[in-house]
Amino acid sequence: MSTPAFSSPVTMADPRWKPSSRAPLLWAVNAALMWIPVFVAQVVWAVVDGAWTSWPHVTVFAASAALALAHVLVVPGWRYRVHRWEVSDTAVYTRSGWFTQERRIAPISRVQTVDTERGPVDRLLGLATVTVTTASSAGAVRIAALDTEIADATVARLTEIAGRNRGDAT
């Protein structure tokens, strides 16, 4: 099997910037908040059933606790080692995920909007997510868990670069 011929070699470098050092804490808090309804449902089930220590309750609780601990303690660090981002004069690059990893490259000429999102936990930690909406069926490119100042500077830079670009964003 031969490799396809290209006119010039292209080197795909990983994006160089990490999210904020507070990103693992954000992801851990969000994961813990997600598990609260699961444990509340288990308590309700045990109260309604009236058998707190029966094997189904203990088994489901133990499995839930193990998964929750992994989700809260292991996954945020793993995600932090994977997540990267970069903005150049020609494109926005991201790498994200933890189990399934995704690399996205969005040409500046395709940028339609640039938004900043700050949820309650993000605001508490001084973080924000920058969303770059493009004319792509793959959806927007998200740069998660940036320090607020860096997010604002990134939005300003992307807006300025996109304004110079004469692409039609379609």
In tens, the pLDDT along 58-75 reads: 999 999 999 999 999 999
48 vs 108: CA distance, rounded Å: 56
Predicted local distance difference test score (pLDDT) of residue 7: 54
Phi, psi angle pair for 117, to nearest 5°: -125, 135
Across 97-106, b (16+ Cβ under 10 Å) vs e yields ebeeeeebeb
State what percent of residues in the chain have pLDDT above 70. Answer: 90
Q: Compute the distance between CA of residue 109 and CA of residue 134 in angstroms, rounded to an integer.
A: 9
Of 136, 141, 145, 138, residue with least CA distance to 158: 141
Confidence of residue 162 (pLDDT cuts 50, 70, 90): confident
Residue 83 has a pLDDT of 96
pLDDT recorded at residue 136: 80
More confident residue, 162 or 65: 65
